[in-house]
Amino acid sequence: MPFRLPRVYPLTDVVISGLSHAEQVKRLAAGGASIIQLREKSMAAGDFYDEAKAAVDIARKAGIQLIINDRVDIALAVEADGVHLGQDDLPVESARALLGPDAIIGLSTHNLQQAEKARNLPVSYIAVGPIFTTRTKSNPDPELGLDRLRQISKVMKSIPLVAIGGITPQNATDVIAAGADSVAQISFLLSDPAAITSRIENLLRQLT
What DSSP character marks residue 137? -
Non-local (6+) Cβ contacts of 208 within 8 A are 7
Whether 42 is catalytic is no
Q: Strand, helix or coil at 104?
A: strand
Q: Are 182 and 162 in contact (CB under 8 A)?
A: yes
Q: Strand, helix or coil at 37?
A: strand
Q: Are 8 and 34 in contact (CB under 8 A)?
A: no
Whether 205 is catalytic is no
Catalytic residue, chosen from 60, 137, 150, 154, is 137
- Rounded CA-CA distance 7/67 in Å is 16
Whether 108 is catalytic is yes
Catalytic residue, chosen from 34, 108, 124, 153, is 108
- Rounded CA-CA distance 36/28 in Å is 8
Q: Strand, helix or coil at 85?
A: strand
Catalytic residue, chosen from 7, 26, 27, 39, is 39
What spatial distance separates the first Cα and last Cα of the chain, rounded to whole Å?
Answer: 22
What DSSP character marks residue 201? H
List, by residue number, the catalytic residues. Answer: 39, 108, 137
